[in-house]
Structure 1
Amino acid sequence: MFEHSVKVPRHYKVAASIFKKISTEGGSLKSLLYDDKLKHFRINVLYALINETIKHAADIDKIFENSCLLDKETRLDPWLAKVLTAELLFGKKTLPGKSKPEQTILTYKDQFEKYTSDHQDDLKTEVVRRPRYVRVNTNLLTTSDAIRAFQDEGYRFIRCTSGSYDDYLKQIQQLTEYDFTQDYHVKTMFVFASNTKLHEHELYLESQIVLQDKATALPVHLLAPPPGSCVLDMCAAPGMKTTQLAAYMRNQGRVYAVERDTRRYQTLCDFVKKTDSKCVETMNKDCLEIKRGDLDDVEYILLDPSCTGSGMEISVHNYVEPARLAKLTSLQEKFLKHAMNSFPNAKRIVYSTCSIYPEENERAVSNAVKNSRSNWKVLDAKELMKGQWNNFGSGMYGVIGTKCLYARPDSDFTTGFFLAVLERGQKGSENSNKEKVKSNKNADSKSTIEEEDNCENTSKTVTDEEGQKSENPSKKKKKKNTQAHSEMAESLQEEEINAEDNTKKKKKKHKSNDVDESPTYENAENLTTTDGTDTMTSKKKKKKKDKNREQDENAVTEAQAADDVKKKKKKRKLEEVDEQSSQDNLEVSEIEEVQKKKKKKRNKNNEIET
């Protein structure tokens, strides 16, 4: 009979509780293990047990379905049953306790083993085993000293390949038990074989090395804040990336580490102190409460918000409630927009999640960039990695999606991870997007103005080309204008002189006619009188002659009036020419020459008349 008074060993119950939380709520296994309630437990034992359960979760579900365990044992906690089964089949191969749940699982042992042996092809027997990653805390230990320390213990250091990233991936898969190498990208990180046990290592206990996955180290690597800069870690606990930032900056500058939850904040403070991260200033508050003007000195921002954790152990997170996913994505976008708009001097942001869902990743980044008041752009992660990476975002979210980076467990041998690097534009003002809208609205008007300017420029170029032969094209243009005005004036003067000559000739003709006609009239009168002819006929003839004379005189006067009108018009034209020549800065010498020519022609005309 079962002894109901015998309790289940506590580490099995704690492991079942954490496994349930990861499966239903999401989150990182490592972060959940940093709870104050677990400080009396051996963290490495819990981590190994939960990790083994997660790896074989899909297989355990098939085993339970075949044996109808959960249907028969209705009072058995399913999460605890999975942990105990993982320990029995894939872990220590035994259950030491005498509690009822343990004894229940042991009664199904033969049935479980028979099913696994008969369905080896159906079960997920091959599990991608990631290598052990170790980051050297350069606040306390240099990388060269760390290499010598491991070599003194019998480890063999293999230099990282100088070839491609694919060559490196092949290299780390061939590491044996006592081999280790340096990471291809993050040079403060070492890579060991997957079964390497370092939880009890002296360097780990002294916080000189940190057990941190490579994927979670990439955000700091791509944020790349130089020593002396100011950085904000918006969701800092448990402090892996925060302390990595301090080491990257050589403890020079300032790192604001913000955490809202009180218990996690205490974990953050303890870890910052243990790693000797002196440039870190912790803040127990909600990062959304940090308003514009509070931390205006921030230049670089690291944002790793809460997520589903679907990339940590893929087999557990095959399904997430849509309502929970929508709530998380809304919060993630809110965090990212706050980072983009509330820190005026921020010039680079790295947004990262331990999720493989695009809703939390590419879509969140795309929505934040499009709706931001500030001018931000997504940098191409492939270029930042110098082409040495294989997994990137989806084109379903446009160019922004393809510029993001993914770490895949099956190909990169890391946890599932996502990150995007955002950089502020050159102007960096909050009104930059508004200015873009205004510029689009005024595009048509600007184009018409540019066309008019082009027309003016072409006309200017034409005139400039005509004047390129001389050193001063403007003077040459003025000279051409003055020459044209002078030629016009000369032609008008010649026409005026010719007109005066014609009028004088007409006058002379009329005078000669008068002289010729007067004797004929007198002779005619004398003849008529002497011959005794009729005086009436001579008078009529005389009247006709007088009429003809008057008509001729009237014609002469009309011709003179017409000539006077022409003279006046020509004078006006000359005055206009003179005014135009004066406007074009006609030289005095040229004007005098024109006047001399006028006088000469007038003198000639006077001589002709005399």
Structure 2
Amino acid sequence: MSNFNHSIKVPKLYKCAAKICQEVAGGGGSIKHLIYEKKHFNTKALYALVVTTFQRAQEIDLLLKRTKLFEKEPRLEPWLAKVFISELMWGKKILPKSEAKPVQTILAYEQAFKAHLSDSSVNHIEGNIIVKKPRYVRINTLLTSFNESLELFQEEGWVLQQIKDHQNYDSFIEQVSLLEGDLFLRDIHISDLLIFPHGTQFYNHPGYKQGAIILQDKASCIPVHILSPPPGSIILDMCAAPGMKTTQLAALMKDEGTIYAVERDPKRFDVLNKIVETSGSKCIKAINKDVLECNSSDFPDVEYILVDPSCSGSGMVDRVEMTLSKNNARLEKLAGFQIKILRSALTRYPNVKKVVYSTCSLYPEENEDVVRQVLETNNEFRLVPADTFINKTWKNFGSPDFGDIGKFCLYAKPEEDLTNGFFVAVLERCKEGEYNQFFNGRSLKYMKKHERNEKRKKERHLEQTKENIDEAKVSTELVNLDESEGRKIKKKKKKDNSENIGEINENIDEIEDSTELVNQNGNEGIKFKKKKKKEKLEKNLDHINENIEERKDSTELVNQNETEGIKIKKKKKDKNSNQETLYETTEETLEQEQLELNLNQKKKKNKKHKEQQQNTDDVEITEINIKEDKNEKNIDTEKVSKNKRKNEVEITDAFVTTKKKKNHKSKDINVENEVVAEDNFLGDKLKKKKRKVDKLDSLNDTDYSSKMNNDNNESLKKKKKV
């Protein structure tokens, strides 16, 4: 917790005390609650250290201001320093032997603290703060009688001191303040309450452990004493925890009747049950509920009500609230709750005769002002002077700022009454001829109007919330329906997708197989085509060579005989024409055979791969188109070659006839030369044609294979995307 970086740790007791002080100052809970929650092995020492630190808070702050400790030692943790100063100056007067830096720092300022503490102003503060409150013990008459308890204490060595004057309150307070040693007193107001010297401990006493004696402050006993319900009554304790007043009511009623003990906080409700159980009472019905949500149907025929609501606790001597500054925002919030609960006690239970309102606060905002606001809007109850129930032997009352309300209300002040600070107001139902002198019709009208508006707001809010709930239900139902339908659709889609994926995978496998087959078949077809074309060209070359040889032989015969030469020439021409026709027909027949083979292959493929007809049909259509283009090109080239040959033959015929008229010899020579030239010309043409055909075949083969591969790849990609 300390900000010092040191290897030696601060003793755990002081570290724990500093942490509790910090939490209490920050509103984290009461001193007792936080101490018992820590479960420290030395609870008594821890409690004394924390209480002393808060009791001496003003002196400690003044010492810190004069010594400028935090300015000189900025790394020192504030609450730890305050705990050490409290222990050094007012506790054990020494600090533990430790080399821890915080301990050594406080010890270094010890002489400065003592010097400033001797100042008169500090002593003046000290005289106003410290209250040496005696130990009050209430005898639980449900388990033991009062006389038996007195005898037991006397057997233990205690001496009962007699009251000098029961009607003189100042004399009684003086006797209480002078109690010491083995002396004890019996209270003049509460008959079953004993008073022991300050500092007396009973936590280990057998009577305390068995529930025969209850450690309860006198101020806490006064509200029940004033309510004083007779045995057999029906009582409502609206804020019952921890249960001291509840068990006191049961003892006062001799455990006859019914006490509804209501507590809304679950933890405090558990404490209430434990105390009720140890008290031995059977008429108490503990209820864990918010009392503001209850009415006469929950607690029928209630006659007496004790209203002791949550408050600031500013009257508790051993609480931090005695030393902390006033928190107006918190007081306003508490006062609002207190007004509601007191008003509900006066309006919701028609059989109620008497209501006692009490707090352990010394602030008028929680006391007189709450009573004023409630009485101004209620003409069925009146305020009764509280001192009439304690023999008019009380000294402290409410503030004169509230007129008669202050006079009728009772205060217990720690410095004067040697108890915790307390406030008590008594309200009784008006009988015939009685009236509430503090009733204000205007404020009642205003209050009723305000209540109507609040009621309307609540009704509207409830209607709106109901509508919102209905809409939310409808929307949730729709959402559930949509979710269920969506789940069904998703399941169906998943099934369909899984089926489609399976089919697609199967199709892809089949397509891959088919593409492999197509590629194989395509390659085989191309090879076969090339082979056929080569064979054709070889045959044509053989024919051309034969023709050339035959023409050479014919030239020799022409030299011998013109007529024979002419005949031979004609024959050769006929042969050439026949060869050309044969060449053309052979090419056409080969191409037709190739087409038939391709068609047969297509039919076989269609039978094998019915599911992929579209893909295979596309491939086959592309093949047919390419082949048809090839055929058209070949046919066009052949037609052009035929026309050229015809023209050449006609030219040669014309040339021959003209030469015949001039000279037979020259004719023979020319004819021979022309035949040779024609043969050479035809050979060159055929060679060029062969080259063109080879180029076209190679180009077509590459285009065809690339086209097939591209088409197959594109079809595979589309299938995978789907």
- TM-score w.r.t. the length of structure 2 is 0.56
State how far apart, in whole Å, the 1-side matches of 2:51 and 2:429 are: 40
Q: Give the equivalent residue in structure 2 for 1:83.
A: 83
Q: Whose helix fraction is larger, Structure 1's or Structure 2's? A: 2
State the AA in 2 paired with 1:110: Q
Larger Rg: 2
Displacement of 1:158 after TM fit? 1.1
State how far apart, in whole Å, the 1-side matches of 2:72 and 2:176 are: 46
Q: Give the equivalent residue in structure 2 for 1:422.
A: 427
State how far apart, in whole Å, the 2-side matches of 1:153 and 1:250 are: 28
Would the alpha carbon gap of residues 329 and 24 (structure 1) be closer, same or farther in structure 2, given more than 3 Å must change? farther
State the AA in 1 paired with 2:147: S
Displacement of 1:100 after TM fit? 4.7
Q: 1:157 aligns with which of 157, 160, 163?
A: 160
CA contact (8 A) 1:354 1:417 kept: yes
Q: Give the equivalent residue in structure 2 for 1:481.
A: none
Q: Give the equivalent residue in structure 1 for 2:206.
A: 202
Q: 2:408 aligns with which of 403, 412, 425?
A: 403
State how far apart, in whole Å, the 2-side matches of 1:245 and 1:46 are: 33
Matches within 5 A, 1:19-168: 19-20=21-22, 22-25=24-27, 29-30=31-32, 32=33, 37-38=37-38, 42-96=42-96, 98=98, 99-119=100-120, 122-126=123-127, 127-161=130-164, 162-168=166-172
Instruction: Provide the secondary structure at the position in 2 that maps to 1:371.
Output: coil
Displacement of 1:419 after TM fit? 0.9
Q: 1:215-243 CA deviation, whole Å, 9 max, x = no partner? A: 11101110111111121221122222122
Would the alpha carbon gap of residues 211 and 8 (structure 1) be closer, same or farther in structure 2, given more than 3 Å must change? farther
Q: Give the equivalent residue in structure 2 for 1:527.
A: none
Gaps of 5+ in 1: 438-610
Would the alpha carbon gap of residues 222 and 8 (structure 1) be closer, same or farther in structure 2, given more than 3 Å must change? farther
Q: 2:390 aligns with which of 380, 385, 389?
A: 385
Would the alpha carbon gap of residues 367 and 433 (structure 1) be closer, same or farther in structure 2, given more than 3 Å must change? closer
Q: 1:502-550 CA deviation, whole Å, 9 max, x = no partner? A: xxxxxxxxxxxxxxxxxxxxxxxxxxxxxxxxxxxxxxxxxxxxxxxxx
CA contact (8 A) 2:316 2:420 kept: yes
State how far apart, in whole Å, the 1-side matches of 2:41 and 2:106 are: 24
Q: Give the equivalent residue in structure 2 for 1:226.
A: 230
Q: 2:327 aligns with which of 309, 321, 330?
A: 321
Bigger drift between 162-171 and 401-410 goes to 162-171
State how far apart, in whole Å, the 2-side matches of 1:410 and 1:321 are: 22
1:215 aligns with 2:219: yes
Q: 2:366 aligns with which of 348, 360, 369?
A: 360
Displacement of 1:382 after TM fit? 2.1
State the AA in 2 paired with 1:321: N
State the AA in 2 paired with 1:410: E
Q: 1:191 aligns with which of 175, 188, 195?
A: 195
Q: 1:548-603 CA deviation, whole Å, 9 max, x = no partner? A: xxxxxxxxxxxxxxxxxxxxxxxxxxxxxxxxxxxxxxxxxxxxxxxxxxxxxxxx
1:244 aligns with 2:248: yes
Matches within 5 A, 1:517-528: none
State how far apart, in whole Å, the 2-side matches of 1:419 and 1:433 are: 18
State the AA in 2 paired with 1:138: T
State the AA in 2 paired with 1:189: L
Q: Give the equivalent residue in structure 2 for 1:566.
A: none
Displacement of 1:192 after TM fit? 1.0
CA contact (8 A) 1:8 1:97 kept: no
Q: 1:336-390 CA deviation, whole Å, 9 max, x = no partner? A: 1111112222211111111111111000011011123x61111101222221001
State how far apart, in whole Å, the 2-side matches of 1:297 and 1:170 are: 44
Q: 1:420-449 CA deviation, whole Å, 9 max, x = no partner? A: 0111122799x9999999xxxxxxxxxxxx
State how far apart, in whole Å, the 1-side matches of 2:307 and 2:178 are: 34
CA contact (8 A) 1:28 1:309 kept: no
Instruction: Provide the secondary structure at the position in 1 that maps to 2:47.
Output: helix
Instruction: Provide the secondary structure at the position in 1 that maps to 2:357.
Output: strand
State how far apart, in whole Å, the 2-side matches of 1:376 and 1:85 are: 52
CA contact (8 A) 1:155 1:180 kept: yes
CA contact (8 A) 1:251 1:277 kept: yes
Displacement of 1:75 after TM fit? 4.3
Matches within 5 A, 1:450-599: none
Gaps of 5+ in 2: 443-722
State how far apart, in whole Å, the 2-side matches of 1:178 and 1:367 are: 48
CA contact (8 A) 1:27 1:309 kept: no
Percent identical pairs in the alignment equals 45
CA contact (8 A) 2:314 2:361 kept: yes
State the AA in 2 paired with 1:264: R
Matches within 5 A, 1:233-382: 233-313=237-317, 316-317=322-323, 319-372=325-378, 375-382=380-387
State the AA in 2 paired with 1:426: K
Larger RCO (CA under 8 A, 6+ residues apart): 1
State the AA in 2 paired with 1:81: A
Instruction: Provide the secondary structure at the position in 2 that maps to 1:190.
Output: strand
Displacement of 1:90 after TM fit? 1.0
Displacement of 1:327 after TM fit? 1.0
State the AA in 2 paired with 1:116: L
Instruction: Provide the secondary structure at the position in 2 that maps to 1:124.
Output: helix
State the AA in 2 paired with 1:379: V
CA contact (8 A) 2:4 2:75 kept: no
State how far apart, in whole Å, the 1-side matches of 2:167 and 2:437 are: 43
Would the alpha carbon gap of residues 433 and 14 (structure 1) be closer, same or farther in structure 2, given more than 3 Å must change? same
Would the alpha carbon gap of residues 204 and 274 (structure 1) be closer, same or farther in structure 2, given more than 3 Å must change? same
Q: Give the equivalent residue in structure 2 for 1:607.
A: none
Displacement of 1:398 after TM fit? 2.6
Displacement of 1:288 after TM fit? 1.1
Displacement of 1:213 after TM fit? 1.1
Bigger drift between 228-237 and 182-191 goes to 228-237
State how far apart, in whole Å, the 2-side matches of 1:152 and 1:58 are: 43
Instruction: Provide the secondary structure at the position in 2 that maps to 1:159.
Output: coil
State how far apart, in whole Å, the 1-side matches of 2:439 and 2:178 are: 55
Would the alpha carbon gap of residues 25 and 368 (structure 1) be closer, same or farther in structure 2, given more than 3 Å must change? farther
Displacement of 1:118 after TM fit? 4.5
State the AA in 1 paired with 2:392: G
State how far apart, in whole Å, the 2-side matches of 1:349 and 1:264 are: 23
State how far apart, in whole Å, the 1-side matches of 2:417 and 2:438 are: 38
State how far apart, in whole Å, the 1-side matches of 2:6 and 2:241 are: 40
State how far apart, in whole Å, the 1-side matches of 2:370 and 2:79 are: 33
CA contact (8 A) 1:26 1:310 kept: no
CA contact (8 A) 2:315 2:321 kept: no
Q: Give the equivalent residue in structure 2 for 1:533.
A: none
For these two proteins, the number of residue pairs brought into alignment is 434
State the AA in 1 paired with 2:360: C
